[in-house]
Chain A
Amino acid sequence: DVKVTQSSRYLVKRTGEKVFLECVQDMDHENMFWYRQDPGLGLRLIYFSYDVKMKEKGDIPEGYSVSREKKERFSLILESASTNQTSMYLCASSLVGGAGAYNEQFFGPGTRLTVL
């Protein structure tokens, strides 16, 4: 079974702190994703990586950066945390699909981040 793990289930940080959220997958997936989930807004894609050191902005990249130095690990960085970044953060991974076919995304357990 695919396993996607996230470094913390709950995290409390202060405004202005630099925050690192880590995600690791154990199935050699090329693609990795970071989402945030907020009530009434659903899941929104922050960043996507399709290979080591490769990244692509999602729908809401402002205030975030990412790092992918190894295939299995994808980090989300909040350069200067703000209260409006309080949210549930979800990491996912998938294989690269064949022509015209894109594969299942598998999700981690999520990190509930509170910024005070």
Chain B
Amino acid sequence: KQEVTQIPAALSVPEGENLVLNCSFTDSAIYNLQWFRQDPGKGLTSLLLIQSSQREQTSGRLNASLDKSSGRSTLYIAASQPGDSATYLCAVSGGSEKLVFGKGTKLTVNP
């Protein structure tokens, strides 16, 4: 059964810092990996989707990488801002339309 782990559970950084969020999964036979952002009390916003054949995807200050063989993905956030404060979730699709989610990393960017 696929399991997705995100470490750390919480992270606090000063504004302007570059940071990396980690996601690991136990079964490397995935079709895609998706990163989401969730603000308190709100739904999930899709940030990036990486297909299994891809190694990375970029959107603005965000860059997500995927290493299927090692079961890892990272989300790199450049020049962090207080508005980046949120919970970041990763999820993998393993051969069906369904996603398996990690429990998220709560990011706080301090002004």
Residues of chain A at the chain B interface (Cβ within 8 Å): 4, 31, 33, 40-43, 45, 48, 50, 58, 88, 90, 92, 94, 96-97, 100-110, 112
- The number of residue pairs between A and B whose CB atoms lie closer than 8 Å in the complex comes to 58
Contacts of B102 in A (CB 8 A): 42
B: number of interface residues (CB 8 Å): 24
A58 to B98, CA, bound (A): 9
Contacts of B51 in A (CB 8 A): 101
B96 in the interface (beta carbon within 8 A): yes
Query: How far does the Cβ of B93 sit from chain A's closest Cβ, in whole Å?
Result: 5
Which of A33, A45, A90, A104 has a CB less than 8 Å from the CB of B49? A104
Contacts of B96 in A (CB 8 A): 102
A116 to B34, CA, bound (A): 35
Determine the main DSSP class of B at the interface with A. strand
Besides A43-B101, A94-B97, A105-B91, 10 new A-B residue pairs in contact (Cβ under 8 A), listed by A number: A42-B103, A43-B91, A88-B41, A100-B31, A102-B31, A102-B96, A104-B46, A105-B46, A107-B36, A108-B43
Residues of chain B at the chain A interface (Cβ within 8 Å): 31-32, 34, 36, 41-46, 49, 51-52, 89, 91, 93, 96-99, 101-104
Q: Are B43 and A109 in contact (CB under 8 A)?
A: yes
Contacts of B101 in A (CB 8 A): 42-43
The 10 closest A-B pairs by CB, nearest first: A107-B44, A42-B103, A107-B43, A43-B101, A109-B43, A102-B93, A110-B43, A104-B49, A31-B97, A102-B31
